[in-house]
Amino acid sequence: MKDANLRWADLAPYAGRWVALVRGRVAGTGWTAGEARRAAKRSRPKEEPQVIFVPAVEHPNGCRHLD
């Protein structure tokens, strides 16, 4: 991840989804990269978002956490 200020723990609510970041802040989310990018462009049309996937890992004990 480019922005050191944004940690994986900050993205935990978005586990399993695509997130579009603008200036290190979540500007859009979606089930696909395109959805996340379009959501970010609606809220921040002049800025180009960085789109990343936030993985979720299932453990045998049923706990989920970010990888």
Q: Give 23's pLDDT tier (boundaries 50, 70, 90).
A: very high
pTM above 0.85, yes or no: no
Average pLDDT over residues 15-21: 97
Bridge-based pairing of strands 57-58 and 64-65 is antiparallel
d(CA 40, CA 36): 6
The reported pLDDT for the residue numbered 64 is 58
Q: What are phi and psi of 51, to 5 degrees?
A: -105, 125
Q: Give 16's pLDDT tier (boundaries 50, 70, 90).
A: very high
Domain residue spans in the chain? 8-65
Reduced to 3 states (helix: H, G, I; strand: E, B; else coil), residue 52 is strand
Specify which residues 29 forms β-bridges with.
19
